[in-house]
Amino acid sequence: MSRAKTLKIRELIREARHILVVSHIRPDGDAIGSLLGMGLALQSVGKDVAMALSDGVPANFRHLSGSDQIIRRATGEFNLTITVDCADLSRAGDILGDRTVDLNIDHHITNLNFGKVNFVDANAVATCAILAEFLPQWGLPISQPVAEALLTGVVTDTLGFRTSNMTPKALRIAANLMEHGANLPELYYQGLIQRTYNAVRYWGPALTNLQKRGRLIWTTLTREDRDRASYPGNDDADLNHILSSIEGADIAVLFVEQKNNHIKVSWRSQPGYDVSKIALKFGGGGHPAASGADITGSLKDVQDQVLQASWDAVEKKQ
């Protein structure tokens, strides 16, 4: 990043008094970590900071200090508006309203550069990794709570340092955050390993009914499964991580039944496939290795169509 941009950001921060920091809907560890890392660092130099997430903080990140300050709606006037980990404005939900974004900090290659100043590094493993590297240069210290927030984002976005974009630099950044007091084993456990009893019970029927045809595997999570397990969300409770660990499965498809005749479908694939192309056919999108779509129709119809398209992709490769 250029020296001029670093100085510009330093100046923006120095001159602002009331600052709004925002991250994305359906927040993950990097969204919450970068929001808290930026927000708490700004507070520590005397700024008046509002940290906002349209969907609030999920239960599994409420151990992070400062998470109780995160609000869902931003009211009042701000001199500086910052987004973190948002590739486009719609990702912020309805928080921004007609506010313009002064500073856009992100690591998504698809970032639309919607800020007045854009600090986007697609080689960074997480937005938290960018902050860990640059906060000190912007005049913001890395306290222990800031280090804990940032390490959470680095650990979760890399699935525990094992995504294909991992670099020696990312490990050095993590080591530096540990030196600032972040407890890696604890944050790793809370961000990636720990699950609720109900979430694992919810997986039960889907694992029992797991199906396989050649190198394609699939299963379904129904509304009834959720009710029986008293699982509060409408997502897959990370069952995808288990499906993508199965040997010999090139493409894994998971159907999650929703209300009103909607089925959430997600694909995970081994290298050499691009499941975003399949997702795109059904109005969805994503990455080559991980994609999703929200499809209207009965479970049976959606399964028939999606499995046919997914089977075609597996067969084409063979």
Instruction: Give the span between the Cα atoms of 170 and 166, in whole angstroms.
Output: 7
Instruction: Give the span between the Cα atoms of 185 and 294, in whole angstroms.
Output: 35
Shortest distance (Å) from residue 144 CB to Mn ion: 22
Q: Report CA-CA distances (Å) from 311 to 54, 218, 251, 314, 318.
A: 37, 11, 9, 5, 11
Task: State yes or no: residue 235 binds Mn ion (CB under 5 A).
Answer: no
| Candidate list 9, 30, 35, 263; residue touching Mn ion; CB under 5 A | 30
Shortest distance (Å) from residue 152 CB to Mn ion: 11
Nearer of residues 67 and 158 to Mn ion, judged by Cβ: 158
Phi, psi of 304 (to 5 degrees): -60, -50
Nearer of residues 137 and 165 to Mn ion, judged by Cβ: 165
Instruction: Give the span between the Cα atoms of 248 and 164, in whole angstroms.
Output: 19
Question: Which H or E element spans position 21?
Answer: strand 18-22
Binding mask 34-73 for Mn ion (x = CB under 5 A): ----------------------------------------
- Taking each helix axis as running N to C, give the angle between helix 144-157 and helix 29-44, from 0 to 180 degrees, rounded to the nearest 10: 160
Nearer of residues 124 and 293 to Mn ion, judged by Cβ: 124
Nearer of residues 88 and 297 to Mn ion, judged by Cβ: 88
Shortest distance (Å) from residue 22 CB to Mn ion: 14
Task: State yes or no: residue 157 binds Mn ion (CB under 5 A).
Answer: yes
Residues 78-137 that bind Mn ion (CB under 5 A): 85, 127
Residue in the shown chain whose Cβ atom is closest to Mn ion: 30
Instruction: Give the span between the Cα atoms of 113 and 164, in whole angstroms.
Output: 25
Sequential DSSP letters for 47-80: -EEEEE-TT---GGGTTSTTGGG-BSS--S--SE
Nearer of residues 122 and 246 to Mn ion, judged by Cβ: 122
Residues that bind Mn ion (CB under 5 A): 30, 85, 127, 157
